[in-house]
Amino acid sequence: MPAPTAKTATPFHPFAGRDVPWLVDAQASARRDATFLVWEPFSGEGRRWTFAEFAEETRAYAAGMAARGIEKGDFVNIHMENCPEFLFAWFACSRIGAVAVTTNTRSTQDELAYFLAHSGSKYAITQPKFAALVRAAGPGLRWISCIAAGGDGDNGVHRPDDLIAFEALRGDPRAAPARAAEPMSPNSVQYTSGTTSRPKGVVWTHANALWSARVNAAHAELGESDVHLFYFPLFHTNALAYSVLATLWSGGTAVMLPRFSSSRFWDIARRYGATWASMVMYTLRAVENLPDPEDHKFRFWAIVGDVNFIRERWGIKTIGWYGMTETVSHCIYSELGRMGPEGAMGRPAPEYEISVRRDDGTEAGFNETGRLFIRGIPGLTIFYEYLNDPENTAQSFDADGWFDTGDEVMALEDGHMYFIGRAKDMLRVGAENVAAVEIEAVIVGVAGVIEAAVVGKPDPMLDEVPVAFVVASDAGPALEADIRAACAGALASFKQPREIRFIDALPKGLLDKVLKKELRALLEDQAPDPARASA
């Protein structure tokens, strides 16, 4: 259930009587023969689907998945890299009324086992190179289905013979389950890092997905002629909602790559006449080192905000937007054609209430850093709840229903806002949010470790990477090897510390709180001791 202090949706909202299948079918009717999805693998033949063809695929897989036992309310894990089958399965779940649980493909067995158990997933859909992992992580799954070829990265791994072939799930589209629209019923779950030792399952309703589709498309001023090139993983909100759902709502075309490729970026963009793309710093840095194309049709890139360098070099406008899995859409964004200050992420979106507060809870002034709070309606404009976690759900909202984002921002007098950093103990590693406490919990479980604290170290490509400071009873290479082995077994690669630094004592303040600012200062002042730490 939503936080008891949060706003409550009335029956009268924009998506009353509508759900995700409604949007798919409405566009199939309105844009029947227009291209919706293009798949551009790194090897083999690509393919296109019109809006009508895409709708039929989702109905066919809904029919087959239902025939295999999936019912309304069941949780279905989708553990795949970018590929068309990911989207067929996700939208098929929506037709059945099942809940799609999308998980990070870089997860370890321990992490995936937690996701499966915590969500109560009964079924899983994956690709060959992850089949053994999913089988080991989910021994209680009723069945596992596996596609023939994954996100262009299975590298010769074949589908196990005893798993259900994904194509065998395709049934008669005419037999797809028919049910009344329930916009406030759960539709999907994404796990996101927070300040707890385990990621939280963010629940979206059908109305959340439709809200994201509609508002994201409106903020980017998308239309039927727009072509979106995307390569970020579908198990994250950026690709699933900002890219696919927004394109579906606008009636445009989405060109999907397995993952980002600097060598193919301009070729694919020019071939399909891409008009927009989402960028982060590491993709921008990669493209920056490429020869400029002779021509392109990009009208904007969504990145940190207005960036003069992009406009001057390629003639491409830039817009900023801020959002998170919990906010569903961008609650702060910059308007196309209205330049803001360099690097500003935008202005408050009219669809949300925004508050910036000092540590004492009072409202911060202009040009003052403060903590960002958002107020919306759970299940409609913001997430419904944290799955099976009423305590964390309630604690994330204050007494007046404001959601604490855990981020710090600063507003200028003209209304533009800058992202300052994470107020919560979080790191930003490439495109991934990482909770320091999750890494620390693994390290302190290693025999010989007394205490540990993890901070972010600036990185030219990934923004920052984790560094662990460890207090130990017997520091040395053997313990460092044990710590690295424990992290490798329990944490995805992007969460694993790049350096382990042994320290006599962690700097602490009142209430025994670790002073991580001092640890970050140590990173700036000291190079790692090669005898005690390694990069």
Q: In the structure encoding, which two tokens stand for residue 388, read together?
A: 């099976």
| Residues forming beta bridges with residue 470, ordered by sequence position | 452, 502
For the ranges 27-36, 75-84, 99-108, 453-462, the lowest mean pLDDT is seen at 453-462
Q: In the structure encoding, which two tokens stand for residue 290, read together?
A: 């490429």
In the chain the first and final C-alpha atoms are separated, in Å, by 44
Residue 269 has pLDDT above 80, yes or no: yes
Give the torsion sign (CA, 429, 431, 433, 434): negative
**pLDDT for position 382:** 98
What is the mean pLDDT of the segment spanning 111-129? 97
How far apart are the C-alpha atoms of 431 and 232, rounded to whole Å?
A: 9
For the ranges 57-66, 266-275, 457-466, 481-490, the lowest mean pLDDT is seen at 457-466
Closest CA to 446 of 476, 483, 496, 477: 483
Mean pLDDT of the residues in the chain? 91
CB 332 within 8 A of CB 378: no
* Residue 473 CB burial class (10 angstroms; 0-12, 13-18, ≥19): exposed
How far apart are the C-alpha atoms of 78 and 169, rounded to whole Å?
A: 14
pLDDT category at 438 given cuts 50, 70, 90 is: confident
Residues 6+ apart with CB under 8 A from 292: 313, 314
How many beta carbons lie within 10 A of that of residue 99, not counting itself?
26
- SS3 of residue 124 by DSSP: strand
Residue 21 has pLDDT above 90, yes or no: yes
How far apart are the C-alpha atoms of 71 and 177, rounded to whole Å?
A: 10
How far apart are the C-alpha atoms of 463 and 428, rounded to whole Å?
A: 7
How far apart are the C-alpha atoms of 467 and 454, rounded to whole Å?
A: 6
CA–CA distances in Å: residue 120 to residues 101, 112, 202: 10, 12, 14
Residue written as token pair 């730490």: 533
How far apart are the C-alpha atoms of 340 and 338, rounded to whole Å?
A: 6
Residue 422 has pLDDT above 90, yes or no: no
For the ranges 221-235, 315-329, 505-519, the lowest mean pLDDT is seen at 505-519
How far apart are the C-alpha atoms of 494 and 434, rounded to whole Å?
A: 8
Q: What is the DSSP letter of 82?
A: S
pLDDT category at 529 given cuts 50, 70, 90 is: very low
Residues 6+ apart with CB under 8 A from 163: 131, 143, 144, 145, 146
Residues 6+ apart with CB under 8 A from 489: 108, 109, 110
Residue 510 has pLDDT above 60, yes or no: no
Sorted by where each begins, the domain ranges of the chain are 20-298, 426-525
For the ranges 252-266, 354-368, 453-467, 482-496, the lowest mean pLDDT is seen at 453-467
Residues 6+ apart with CB under 8 A from 291: none
Torsion angle of C-alpha atoms 7, 347, 464, 383, degrees rounded to 10: 20
| Residues forming beta bridges with residue 422, ordered by sequence position | 407
Closest CA to 533 of 469, 451, 461: 469
Domain at 20-298: CATH code: 3.40.50.12780
Amino acid at 292: D
**pLDDT for position 313:** 94
Superfamily of structural domain 426-525: ANL, C-terminal domain (3.30.300.30)
Residues 6+ apart with CB under 8 A from 476: 502, 532
More confident residue, 108 or 433: 108
Highest mean pLDDT among 82-96, 156-170, 329-343: 82-96
pLDDT category at 513 given cuts 50, 70, 90 is: low
Percent of the chain with pLDDT over 90: 72
**pLDDT for position 448:** 87
What is the mean pLDDT of the segment spanning 253-262? 96
Residue 227 has pLDDT above 80, yes or no: yes
Q: Per-residue pLDDT tens for 285-298? A: 889 889 999 899 99
CB 303 within 8 A of CB 320: yes
pLDDT category at 525 given cuts 50, 70, 90 is: low
pLDDT category at 535 given cuts 50, 70, 90 is: very low
Closest CA to 193 of 326, 34, 65: 326
Residue 248 has pLDDT above 70, yes or no: yes
For the ranges 5-9, 26-30, 57-61, the lowest mean pLDDT is seen at 5-9
